[in-house]
Amino acid sequence: MAKKTKPNSDRSKDKQKTATQWGSRSPIRISVDRDALAAFDKRALATQAGIGIVAGWLASWLVGGSGLLYYVVTGLAGSLVGGFLLERFGIDLGIRNQTASRIVTAMIGAIVVVLIARLVS
């Protein structure tokens, strides 16, 4: 007697193969533009990290918190949030020194980030 196979059994085996084929790898492929990465200004990144540390430290005086990693994270997130908020509301700080203006903007954003994080948690 000939074996009868179910038509859907082959499909389920294919699904199992593809599920195990991927394993723990993500099916999303990420590519890096090496030319853009080479052109990325590392000095600007270091400056922004320094501004983030200073802004996070100043914000921690006002709203509390401690730790270098905390300062960096809140300062860098604060620089994005502060820049967005000040631009959105059309606020000009009137500070002529560009570095001081960036620090104050990042500090304002860091304060907002910390206060929102405290409200959420």
Confidence at residue 68, expressed as pLDDT on a 0 to 100 scale: 75
pTM: 0.60
Query: In sequence order, what are the residues at sequence separation of 6 or more whose Cβ sits closer than 8 angstroms to the Cβ of residue 118?
Result: 63
Domains in the chain: boundaries: 42-120
Is 20 buried (19+), middle (13-18) or exposed (0-12) by CB count in 10 A? exposed
Confidence at residue 46, expressed as pLDDT on a 0 to 100 scale: 82
- Per DSSP, 41 falls in state -
pLDDT tens-digit map of 32-82: 777 766 766 778 778 888 888 888 888 888 887 777 778 878 888 888 898
For the chain, the 3-state helix, strand and coil shares in percent, each to the nearest 5, are 70, 0, 30
pLDDT tens-digit map of 86-115: 889 988 889 899 888 888 998 899 889 888
Question: Both tokens of residue 81?
Answer: 């949030």
